[in-house]
Amino acid sequence: RAKSAGGNRFETADAEADARAITRHGLTNALPAALERGEFFIEYQPLVHLGDGSVHGAEALVRWCHPQHGVLGPDRFIPLAEHTGLIVPLGRWVLEESVRQARFWQERHSDGGPLRINVNLSPMQLHHPGLVSDTVDVLERAGLEPGALCLEVTESALIGADDDLLKPLRQLAEMGVDIALDDFGTGYSNLANLRRLPVSVLKLDRSFTQSMQQHPADTVDVKIVEGIVSLAHSLSLAVTVEGVETGAQAAQLRELGCDTAQGWYYARPGAPDRIHSLLLADAV
Ligand code: C2E
Ligand code: MG
Ligand code: MG
Ligand code: MG
């Protein structure tokens, strides 16, 4: 009995693994047509100044409205798109769409200061030779100044990056595009390495924010964040924190000197209209 139960358990595990593989396979195959049919859409999550809660910008986060599976988050399909190379045209679409959206907000809120748009770049896009020309092209066509765009690259994508890989990022940075190091603190990169990278923003990983909430008395993470903020500021980098879910976290991170924040406490990712109304209200 125990044996057959064990056997069933394995069969179930195998069946689940098979089902997942089939789904992955199916999703991978469906990606190109999905892009063509316009099944992807972008949600925007506001980035706010920790000081006064005013809107600093928004991060573009892609989703897939799949005809059978419903809305899928990027963790379900970005790795697949990265694997097949579809991330290049998909990433270009995200950039174009969100830059146009940012320009639209700016035109309607010219008094609200320069609204910024953050767009994620995956490693394969970094390696793609068209990155700089595509970006210049998209900005020009939308009429958005390069200084309003921030490209987010994960720390792990830049670990061990040689000059060839950094060159396009340097070119973009020289044009005024901000480069942010996303999920910072998870990649084990050498802090001294930061000097070499053309980045102007550190996005502190959500795990730091969460540890503020879980261990309010734990001074280790607090000390680490303090250290990162002081290092970042001494290198003239701004610090953004992600995953702020409570007012207490926001207060603590503000206290620690972080500049901007993003998280459910302020707003979940949502339709572009949401950013529009936040800008009208001038705060989150
Ligand atoms: P990320 O760039 O680090 O984006 C932040 C993620 O944290 C988003 O997940 C966001 O919805 C989530 N988040 C925001 N505030 C909170 C909070 O308070 N609590 C919690 N628990 N989560 C929060 P999402 O939208 O599922 O995106 C996951 C990742 O997918 C992103 O991580 C990014 O690496 C990638 N991604 C999203 N859009 C794109 C894209 O257009 N291109 C590429 N290459 N990657 C993308
Ligand atoms: Mg990001
Ligand atoms: Mg992030
Ligand atoms: Mg993250």
The kind and range of the H/E element at 216 are none
Among candidate residues 132, 173, 127, 129, the one with its CA nearest the CA of residue 150:
173
Euclidean distance between CA atoms 102 and 113, whole angstroms: 12
pLDDT of residue 283: 56
Choose one of 45, 48, 59, 61 to mutate for the ligand 1 pocket test, by most ligand atoms within 8 angstroms of C-beta: 61
Euclidean distance between CA atoms 248 and 209, whole angstroms: 10
**ipTM entry:** 0.98
Choose one of 120, 203, 213 to mutate for the ligand 1 pocket test, by most ligand atoms within 8 angstroms of C-beta: 120
Euclidean distance between CA atoms 281 and 261, whole angstroms: 18
C-alpha 108 – ligand 4 centre gap (Å): 30
Taking residues 270-280, report their average pLDDT. 86
pLDDT tens-digit series, residues 203-228: 999 999 988 866 555 678 888 899 99
Structure tokens at 21: 């593989």
pTM comes to 0.92
Q: Tell me, what amino acid is at 94?
A: V
Among candidate residues 224, 213, 217, 211, the one with its CA nearest the CA of residue 256:
224
Structure tokens at 217: 């008395």
User: With contact defined as beta carbons under 8 Å apart, do 239 and 258 qualify?
Assistant: yes
pLDDT of residue 284: 60
Output the ligand 1 site: residues, CB below 6 A. 45, 61-62, 73-75, 78, 91, 94, 120-122, 152, 182-183, 242-245, 262-264, 269
pLDDT of residue 214: 62
What angle separates helix 131-142 from helix 87-108, to the nearest 10 degrees?
A: 30
C-alpha 59 – ligand 2 centre gap (Å): 7
What is the phi-psi region of residue 160: left when phi exceeds 0, alpha when psi lies from -120 to 50, beta otherwise? Answer: left
pLDDT of residue 251: 93
Taking residues 105-113, report their average pLDDT. 73
73 or 157, greater pLDDT: 73
For residue 10, pLDDT beyond 80? no
pLDDT of residue 4: 47
Which ligand 1 atom lies nearest to the CA of residue 245?
18
C-alpha 61 – ligand 2 centre gap (Å): 8
